[in-house]
Structure 1
Amino acid sequence: MAKKLAFLTIHGMGETEKDYYHILKQSLEKALGKDIWSTVHLEPIYYHSDLQEYQYNVWEKMRQRAPLSWQDLRKFMLFGFSDASALEHRATDDGSVYKKIQKSIIYSLKIARNQFSTNDVPIIILAHSLGCQVISNYLWDSHKNKGIWQQGSPDYPVFPPEQEDFLKLKYLRYLFTTGCNIPLFVAGFADIVAISKPNPDFKWFNYYDKDDVLGWPLKPLSPSYDLVVDKDIEIDSGNLWQSWNPQSHDGYWTDEEFIEHLSQVIKRLSS
């Protein structure tokens, strides 16, 4: 069956496997049925390969030199917070980690675009945790010709001219964010400005759990966030052992309420 919709996922902070999206994929296929799911092209964005090798190197050095308590928590904090700090470090430099991550997004978008005969394909992006800041940066830069999109930059992507609107996400219809920590990146600024809507039909749904200390509502951030974010949706994320504590940060993509809402949106766009 012909593909009607591009659905891209982008992971969050911390140690991440390349197949991070598989449980989500199974849940959506079950909720939608094979006929509808066959009209969706799922393309994961995986940017952690630009960071993980260095993090493992530091982790092994630390473990070998001294015994450490709370190793799982330490490892999460080392990988997670070094992700966040590396993302913004010297972001405008040629070949920076920031720009390498943007190229990871371009790589996945190119694969997705090749599944369709035209540019004006509806796109859904689902981002989690740090991935929300990553995709927000990409949208900001692509619309303002910053980052890898700056003319004359050696990092400027190579692509067929007819694909530009797709790669700049001008047909992005829905942005779903879960456990979003954008407030951690903008809280130190006097003026907090959100991305602009890429098109009049664009909608942004942000999911958070009050027990998730890394997940925040977005509409209270500033007037521009209040305008561009359609809804902050509070859910009780995670299983019995996660939902009442900060581990709820890892439970959004298996939450039944969230899967149901995402499935309904996919049904509407693929019908």
Structure 2
Amino acid sequence: MTQKLAVAILHGAGTPEKNFAEDMIGKIYKGFAKEVKVQHPEQELEIVPVYWSSIFEEEEERLWRKLQQSADLDYVRLRRFAVEFLADAVAYQPSSVADNNYDKVHAVLARALNRLKEKAGPTAPLCIISHSLGSVVASNYFYDLQLKHENIGIHTGRHTGQSPLEKGETLALFYTMGSPMALWSLRFIDFGLPIRVPSPMVKKYYQHLQGEWLNFYDKDDVLAYPLKGLNDHYHSAVTKDVQVNAGGLLTGWNPFSHSRYDTDRSVIAPMVEGLARTWMEVNKS
């Protein structure tokens, strides 16, 4: 029996459809099956979408209705995009108030990791695929696990399990798409510390696993930035900043490219290669 990989996909800012990851999952399965020569990739990759913005969905919709009622606004599509991004970003900020949104969002991710533990096993290598603000959510979550051990369980509504996967010990692959993480780094002295990928503990379970952190950005996407140049810590932690041209003729040359990473071949292909390489490394006979 082979060791499955566990994959969590976090969407970006705004409230997508609940099936937001469907196309990406299909492309990952298809590419993975071709890479490792398996007929049923869904038996080797357990993939769970993390619909974290459900926490904000109702209030953001109510806010947008009120804003539209109060004035005749130009650039409605672009403005809706901006409002959703900023609203999620503001609402997600850490707070000392009990039962705050930061904790609620992390509880959603904790429950997703619990499902992955049940499906793929407690020591399954973990891959996180994250877009936009979802990359900040993922980074914060694993930062707490790696560097603030006393916070384990606190910022997840006590949902953090004690399996190696749920504690982030098997984190092997981190893919960030259209990430504004560079902007968030302003909160910290000298732009702060990144999470470590792979996890420092992964060698305990898979001695030869290398792992990687690829950060995909489109130079036309005003919310996405490279990360390796932030400081020496990021330079070491991020395997590569990958410049891509996300989107097609209508979006590839403008800020709307921000929403097109998840189905772009230049993004999907390197992730599939990483998943295939990791699967083969942990399933060597």
* Structure-2-length-normalised TM-score: 0.85
For residue 124 of structure 1, report the CA deviation from its aligned partner.
Answer: 0.9
Q: Distance in 1 between matches of 2:160 and 2:26?
A: 34
Q: 1:265 to 1:215 in 2, by over 3 A?
A: same
Alignment of 1:1-271 (within 5 A): 4-33=4-33, 34-90=39-95, 92-117=96-121, 119-143=122-146, 144-145=148-149, 147=151, 149-150=153-154, 155-157=157-159, 159=161, 161=162, 163=163, 165-192=164-191, 193-197=193-197, 198-199=199-200, 201-271=210-280
Partner amino acid for 1:111?
Answer: R
* Structure 1 residue runs of 4 or more that deviate by more than 6 Å after TM superposition: none
For residue 89 of structure 1, report the CA deviation from its aligned partner.
Answer: 4.7
Q: Distance in 2 between matches of 1:261 and 1:23?
A: 16
On the 8 A contact 2:217/2:243 being kept in 1, the answer is yes
3-state SS of 2:46 partner: strand
Q: Cα RMSD between the aligned structures?
A: 2.1
Q: Distance in 2 between matches of 1:154 and 1:222?
A: 29
3-state SS of 1:8 partner: strand
For residue 37 of structure 1, report the CA deviation from its aligned partner.
Answer: 3.9
On the 8 A contact 2:110/2:156 being kept in 1, the answer is no
3-state SS of 2:127 partner: strand
Q: Which moved more, 1:126-135 or 1:239-248?
A: 239-248
Q: Distance in 1 between matches of 2:160 and 2:129?
A: 25
Partner amino acid for 1:16?
Answer: P
Count of residues in Structure 1 that have an aligned counterpart in Structure 2: 264
For residue 228 of structure 1, report the CA deviation from its aligned partner.
Answer: 0.7
Q: Distance in 1 between matches of 2:19 and 2:149?
A: 31
Structure 2 unaligned residues grouped into runs of 5+:
34-38, 204-209, 281-285
For residue 116 of structure 1, report the CA deviation from its aligned partner.
Answer: 3.2
Q: Which moved more, 1:31-40 or 1:21-30?
A: 31-40
For residue 147 of structure 1, report the CA deviation from its aligned partner.
Answer: 4.5
Partner amino acid for 1:145?
Answer: H
Q: Distance in 1 between matches of 2:156 and 2:82?
A: 33
Q: Distance in 2 between matches of 1:47 and 1:13?
A: 10
For residue 68 of structure 1, report the CA deviation from its aligned partner.
Answer: 2.4
Structure 1 unaligned residues grouped into runs of 5+:
none
On the 8 A contact 1:4/1:121 being kept in 2, the answer is yes
For residue 209 of structure 1, report the CA deviation from its aligned partner.
Answer: 1.1
Q: Distance in 1 between matches of 2:256 and 2:128?
A: 23
On the 8 A contact 1:24/1:254 being kept in 2, the answer is yes
On the 8 A contact 1:2/1:39 being kept in 2, the answer is yes
For residue 246 of structure 1, report the CA deviation from its aligned partner.
Answer: 1.3
On the 8 A contact 2:153/2:160 being kept in 1, the answer is no
